Amino acid sequence: MDISQIFIILTPIFFVIALGYLAGHFKKFDAITSKGLNTLVTKFALPAHLFVGITTTSKQTLIEKWPFLLALVIGIIGFYIVFLLIAKYAFKFSLTGSSMFSLNSTQPTFAFMGIPVLGSLFGADVVAIPIAITGIVVNAMLDPLATIIGTVGQRQNEETDEEESLFKVTVKSILHGLSEPLACVPLVGVVLVLFGFHTPDLLANSLDQIGSITSGAALFAVGVTIGIRRIQFSLTAFGIALLKIIVQPLVMLGIALAIGLSSDDVTKLVLLVAFPGSAVAAMISVRFDNLASETTSAFVISAIMSLVTLPFWISWLM
C-alpha cells in the first residue's frame, strides 16, 4: 500500500482524534464527562457492534480462529509476563510497580482504534471477530492477572487488619474482568454461535443503531482523554510508550509468522498491538497509586508517536 492510500485512510481518523483533543484541551470535556464518553463506547456501542459481528459469522469460521487466539495470548499475556520479570529483577521495580509498568507496556487501546483503523483496511464486519478475541484476552485475562499481581505486591509492603485471602482477590479480579461488556458480550456471542445461533435481521439492525456510532465516538474519546491529561516526560513514560508501539508489534510479528498465519491475520495481529497504550491500563495504575503519572503520560506519548508508527506498520505490512 502506497503512502497516498495510507494518508487517505488515516487522515479522517486522526482528524477526529484532533477534534477530541481540542474539546478536551479547551475544557469542553472534563474527567467526569470524558469517563461518560468512554463508558458509552466500551460498555454499549462497541459490545453491540461486536455481538452482531460474531453472531452473523459461521460456526466454522469461528472455530478456525483458534490460532489467532493463541497468537494473541502469547503476544499479550506472554509479553506482559516477560516484561514483568524484567522490570522486577533488572530495573528493580516493586512487584506492584512491575505489574503496572508491564500492563501499560502491553495493553493496546484496541477498543477505541480497532474498528476505525482495521475497519478502514479490511472492512468493519471482517475485523469484528479479531477485535472481540482481543477484548476477551485483555479483559478476561490480562487485566485480572495484572490486578492480582499488583495486589500481591501491595500486601508485601503493607500490613492490614482486613486482609482478603489471595484466593478471594483472584476470584474477584477474574469475575470483574468477565463482567466487563468487552469480555462477556463477545464470550456470550461465541457460545451462541457454537450452539448454532445466528442473529436475526431485526435484532442485528436494532443493535446496529448503537453499534454504528462506535468508530467516531471512540476516536473522539481518545482525543478528549489526551486533551485533558498532563504529560510527564520521564524515561519511564517514554520506555512504556516505546515498548507498546514498537517492541510489542515486532514481537507479535515474529509470533504470528512462527504460527504460520495468513498475511491478513498477521497484519491484523500486529496492528492490534501497535495501537497506543490503553487509558484503562493507566486507570488501573492510578487505582494502585503506583506509576500513575508515568503511565498516564505514556498513554499520551504513545498516542502522539502513533501518528508516525501506525503509517509505518501499515506501509510495511500491506
The pTM is what? 0.86
Residue whose C-alpha is closest to residue 44's, from 277, 219, 278, 218: 218
3-317 CATH: 1.20.1530
Residue 231: the pLDDT is 84
Q: What are the tens digits of pLDDT across the range 167-210?
A: 888 888 888 888 889 889 999 999 999 999 999 999 999 999 99
Residue 270 in contact with residue 257, Cβ under 8 Å?
A: no
Q: Domain residue spans in the chain? A: 3-317
- Judged against a pLDDT cut of 80, whether residue 73 lies above it is answered with yes
